[in-house]
Amino acid sequence: MAGVSIAVKGKDGREKALASGQDQAILVFKGEYEAGDEIVLRTDPSHLHYVVRIDDAMDESLVYITKEEVTYAIPFDEKKVSFNPKVFTGNRHYMTIRKAAPFEWNNYRNLAKNVMDQHGDTGCFPHACANVETRGEAVFAARNAIDGILASESHGEWPYESWGINSQDDAELTLDFGRPVDFDRLVLYTRSDFPHDNWWVRATFTFSDQTSEVVEMKKSSEPHVFSIERKQITWVKLSNLIKSDAPSPFPALTQIEVYGKEAE
């Protein structure tokens, strides 16, 4: 029978808690998370929009799910420092999943935000990936650029996580929507921990329709807003990042936002 479910499973595959329903599931897990634990979301049908709260200390995510099963690995140790320190702690946890209503997914909004993004092909969109993340550290992962956190005037642990490029000239970040979307505005929050940070003066957006736009930026803690209209786009790539001639080798991206609607 079609429906949704949310479960907590241990590293041995043992199911610790489960909730299911036709259009919505609400799970309270009583217990402390252990290394190797996972939250498993099941959706039937897939290729639809769902609203997921993976932890009570995180925002809900309006996501497009393309797989019947999505697995979310509970972060520990170094992998957790890019998250609010309150998440996944204690011995009582509240999670929800439900089908999104048309008024939620079929409106003008930030199409890039996904607070529960992870590495790899999870089947949960939007999804950010990059060809470099500084030292492979969680606080510099690509997912940080779509987690909705805008604090940019420092670097490192939450709420100052960012996408770090390890001073690599050919760094690029790809934002995959998982389906076609239409948009008319892109926003970049570049990290502004001056004088530690450098900044980009030029970058290129490339789109899935093989068009591109070169944009100019300046030293600022304010968002860089670009009026760029595209339709039927499945991904956006940010590349050709040209930094200023300031002495710092450390430009970084705090957040990318893409404003639009589902493709007509």
pLDDT for the residue numbered 139: 98
* Residue 119: partners with Cβ closer than 8 Å, 6 or more residues away: 129, 141, 143
Residue 260, pLDDT score = 98
Record the tokens describing residue 66, joined without a space.
Answer: 């393309």
Please state, rounded to an integer, the average pLDDT across all residues of the chain.
97
pLDDT digits (tens, 9 = 90+) for 129-158: 999 999 999 999 999 999 999 999 999 999
pLDDT per position as a tens digit, 165-204: 999 999 999 999 999 999 999 999 999 999 999 999 999 9
What domains are there in the chain, each with its CATH number?
3-107 (no CATH), 119-262 (2.60.120.260)
User: Please, are residues 162 and 140 in contact by the beta-carbon 8 Å criterion?
Assistant: yes
Q: In the predicted model, what is the mean pLDDT of residues 239-253?
A: 97
The helix (run of H) or strand (run of E) holding residue 51 is strand 48-53
pLDDT per residue as tens digits for the range 33-83 = 999 999 999 999 999 999 999 999 999 999 999 999 999 999 999 999 999
The SS3 call for residue 206 is strand
Q: Which of 137, 124, 125, 13 is nearest to 75 (CA)?
A: 137
CA 138/CA 196 separation, integer angstroms: 19
Residue 133 is predicted with a pLDDT of 97
- DSSP, collapsed to helix, strand or coil, labels residue 69 as strand
Tens of pLDDT, residues 70-101: 999 999 999 999 999 999 999 999 999 999 99
DSSP three-state, residue 218: coil
The pTM of the full predicted model, rounded to 2 decimals, is: 0.96
Predicted confidence (pLDDT) at residue 2 exceeds the cutoff of 60: yes
User: Average pLDDT, stretch 220-241?
Assistant: 98
1, pLDDT greater than 60: no
Residue percentage of the chain with pLDDT more than 90: 97
2 token code pair = 């079609």
Task: Give Cβ neighbours of residue 85 (< 8 Å, ≥ 6 apart).
Answer: 158
For residues 65 and 21, give the distance between their C-alpha atoms in angstroms, rounded to a whole number.
17
Structure-block tokens of residue 256: 């990318």
What pLDDT is stored for residue 109 in this prediction? 98
Determine the pLDDT at residue 197.
97
Amino acid at 41: L
Cα–Cα distance measured from residue 258 to residue 104, given in angstroms and rounded to the nearest whole number: 16
Longest distance between any two alpha carbons in the chain, whole Å: 61
Nearest-angstrom CA–CA distance, 192 and 163: 13
Chain position carrying tokens 């996501």: 63
pLDDT in tens, 107-118: 999 999 999 999
R_g of the chain computed on alpha carbons: 19
- How far apart are alpha carbons 55 and 27 in whole angstroms? 10
